[in-house]
Structure 1
Amino acid sequence: MKTRRSFLRDTGALTLGSFILPQLSQATSLFSPLASRPVGLQLFTLFRPMSEDPKGTLEKVAAIGYKEVESAFSLKGGYYGYTAKEFKKVVEGLGMKWRGHHAGGAPFRPRPTPPASMTGTAGGGPAAGGQRPAMDFSKMPPMLNLRDNYQELVDQAAEGGLSYLVCASTPVATVDEIQKSIEVFQKTGEACKKAGIGFAYHNHATEFDPVEGGKTPYELILSQTDKDLVKMELDLAWAVKAGKDPVKLFAEHPGRFPLWHIKDIKSDLKTITEVGNGVVNFKRAFAAAKTAGLKYFFVEQDMAAQPFESITTSYTYLKNLQA
């Protein structure tokens, strides 16, 4: 059986045709689903500045024009050193909405990272912009995770008025790991529903690698979880890296993708880059927004070397699509 890696090598990694390499001749009317939506940002893109000066960083994010944010872990712990209620107040005081939060599916502690090889969230490749500064996570407070702390995380998400609690990543290397993760997702989804919020799972590229039996973790998660309790936050770049067409996924599972990560990747399918500087066809994706069930989307560039320049470039590209 061909692995994803050998398939991409043998075919030159450019088999998605209609999805990668943007179709610039498509009619502008196709992109109207983007025009009415505020542009959001996943704050992991600004990991270091959010850990050092969260309020000052959020002020810069708002000044660029972003209207919604999705949070992640930080060196300060909790919600960048705030409680959920406090962080909501800071975000809304700057004219933005806090829509979602990323939590780990199982216990996880980041390791110290060398400056040139850091890959951001799991399953990625090097980011654009060269070296990133090394970071020491040794003094970071312990992180809550869905396996052990799902109810506490749900309660905090509800306290912060979030729309979605999102599993950022979870062990999926074996069928046993996948089944345990599915159990966690079901419990978390049920708790979220009771709290009046949604639950979603965020992918990387590895979820599309076959495991024992030939199925992929993504297929198993989609087929073995309640579609009303467990939604998906599709990371478009990781899906493209894995050889998947996001629009086909939307058609196969309509309404299952209320959240997207708007991330781009260069033609080598390794290098993450600013939105519009790679091969992901965002125009075609947004044309299928209704089928996907899209509610919110967030720019992400996995701890970019020049984060403010990067998120400005990505924001400008998306606003030009809206024009």
Structure 2
Amino acid sequence: MTEVRSLRHVLRAVLVAALSAVLFVGLVGTASAAPRPGSPGSSDCAGRGVPVSKISIQLWTFAEYIGFGTDAATQTRLEEVLRRLAEMGYRNVEPFTLSGLSAEEFRALLDEYGLKAPARHVDVGTPAEPSDIGRILEENRVLGVKYFGSGATPNDPEDPYTEAEWIAYAQYLDQVGEQARKAGQTLMVHNHDWEFEAVFGDRTAYDILMAYTERKNVVFQLDLYWATFAGADPVELIERYGDRIKLLHVKDMRASDRRIEIVGRGTIDFPAIFAAAGGGIRYYVVEHDPRFGDPTFNPFVAAEVGFAYLACVRY
């Protein structure tokens, strides 16, 4: 490591300590040195659960903690998150932003902590506002990303997509997916609730996205919470669409108010879903949307409990 790199780490370490003590005291500090159930240092779940190589976490879980800036302080908090996730046992993460870092700089951080980013959320645009897919593909190549896609499909409650607009959007995604395939990458579609709530005759917007994209060009990342929230059955979706669903966003639902819950502490029947999926899922991605302004929510706890659950779950 160069002297510049070493100096940068000294400065970052000082800043991490200061920020942790002053700004984020309510959020940090739950991991102990002892191995957690299901972690590589624990024998509690050996040979059980989801393989560690398939467990990932969406960094949106830490959006409030990391922040949305591109300054050194934001990047220092990002590095702290990556370090602690690696200590928990994670080997994969799913970024939603590079926090102002270049793809090369972000990749260097991943490498430093023994992490990979096999999937990534990044805005791939719409027919009306297309993104620079060539730039995204080059970033993905540097980052080592295989699967990528927008964190959300278009949604404007005041002016919702018509059936024709959903079809046009799906056709646009298929074109992006073809471009990605030729570059050795794969476009994925991530859902919320509105894809199941927008109904046109006997099919939902989710059905349209499936129908107007080719399986060789586009795969799907099924968000289990949002599908369940919308009244869809994840097991039925998996049985209907089979290997088009390659990734799962694993987040739970609280019984009392249907709010997002820490994985394993809610009502969603993950064992039944995982069993229905068989061996076709590439990555099981832990996620808990931030509770902005709620000091009782600790994203590090959500991450640690979620990892332990997946490592131990039987299905």
TM over 0.5: yes
Q: Which residue, 106, 119, 132 being the options, matches 1:149?
A: 132
Q: 1:242 to 1:268 in 2, by over 3 A?
A: farther
Q: Confirm or deny that 1:318 pairs with 2:306.
A: no
Q: Confirm or deny that 1:187 pairs with 2:175.
A: yes
Q: 1:60 to 1:33 in 2, by over 3 A?
A: closer
Q: Confirm or deny that 1:294 pairs with 2:281.
A: yes
Q: What residue in structure 2 maps to residue 158 of structure 1?
A: 141
Q: Confirm or deny that 1:66 pairs with 2:90.
A: yes
> CA shift at 1:105, angstroms?
4.5
Superimposed CA distance per residue, residues 157-213 of structure 1 (whole angstroms, 9 cap, x where no aligned partner)? 122221111221122532243123213211210111011011100000111013343
Q: What residue in structure 2 maps to residue 267 of structure 1?
A: 255
> CA shift at 1:39, angstroms?
2.0
**Aligned partners of 2:99 and 2:237: how far apart in 1?**
34
> CA shift at 1:224, angstroms?
1.1
Q: 1:146 to 1:269 in 2, by over 3 A?
A: farther
Decide which structure has the larger Cα Rg and report it. Answer: 2
Q: SS of the counterpart of 1:148?
A: coil
**Aligned partners of 1:205 and 1:226: how far apart in 2?**
23
Q: TM-score, normalised by structure 1?
A: 0.71
Q: SS of the counterpart of 1:199?
A: strand
Does the Cα contact within 8 Å between 1:199 and 1:230 map onto a contact in 2? yes
Q: TM-score, normalised by structure 2?
A: 0.73
Q: What residue in structure 2 maps to residue 94 of structure 1?
A: 113
| CA-based RMSD | 2.3
Q: Which residue, 193, 207, 224 being the options, matches 1:205?
A: 193
Q: Segments of 4+ in structure 1 off by > 4 A?
A: none
Q: 1:218 to 1:152 in 2, by over 3 A?
A: same
Q: 1:206 to 1:36 in 2, by over 3 A?
A: same
Q: Confirm or deny that 1:41 pairs with 2:57.
A: yes
**Aligned partners of 2:109 and 2:181: how far apart in 1?**
26
> CA shift at 1:152, angstroms?
1.9
> CA shift at 1:246, angstroms?
1.3
Does the Cα contact within 8 Å between 1:71 and 1:101 map onto a contact in 2? yes
Q: What residue in structure 1 maps to residue 299 of structure 2?
A: 307
Identity of aligned residues (%): 28
> CA shift at 1:36, angstroms?
6.0
Instruction: State the aligned residue count.
Output: 250
Q: 1:248 to 1:214 in 2, by over 3 A?
A: closer
Q: Confirm or deny that 1:281 pairs with 2:305.
A: no
Q: Confirm or deny that 1:167 pairs with 2:150.
A: yes
> CA shift at 1:58, angstroms?
0.8
Q: SS of the counterpart of 2:130?
A: helix
Q: SS of the counterpart of 1:280?
A: coil
> CA shift at 1:222, angstroms?
0.6
**Aligned partners of 1:63 and 1:322: how far apart in 2?**
24
Q: Which residue, 63, 78, 86 being the options, matches 1:54?
A: 78
Q: What residue in structure 2 maps to residue 23 of structure 1?
A: none
Does the Cα contact within 8 Å between 1:204 and 1:235 map onto a contact in 2? yes
Does the Cα contact within 8 Å between 2:49 and 2:310 map onto a contact in 1? no
**Aligned partners of 1:257 and 1:232: how far apart in 2?**
5
Q: SS of the counterpart of 1:278?
A: coil
**Aligned partners of 2:49 and 2:263: how far apart in 1?**
17
> CA shift at 1:37, angstroms?
4.2
**Aligned partners of 2:119 and 2:99: how far apart in 1?**
14
Structure 2 letter corresponding to 1:300: E
Q: SS of the counterpart of 2:189?
A: strand
Unmatched runs of 5 consecutive residues or more in structure 2: 1-46, 68-73, 292-296
> CA shift at 1:268, angstroms?
4.6
Aligned positions of 1:93-112 closer than 5 A: 93-106=112-125
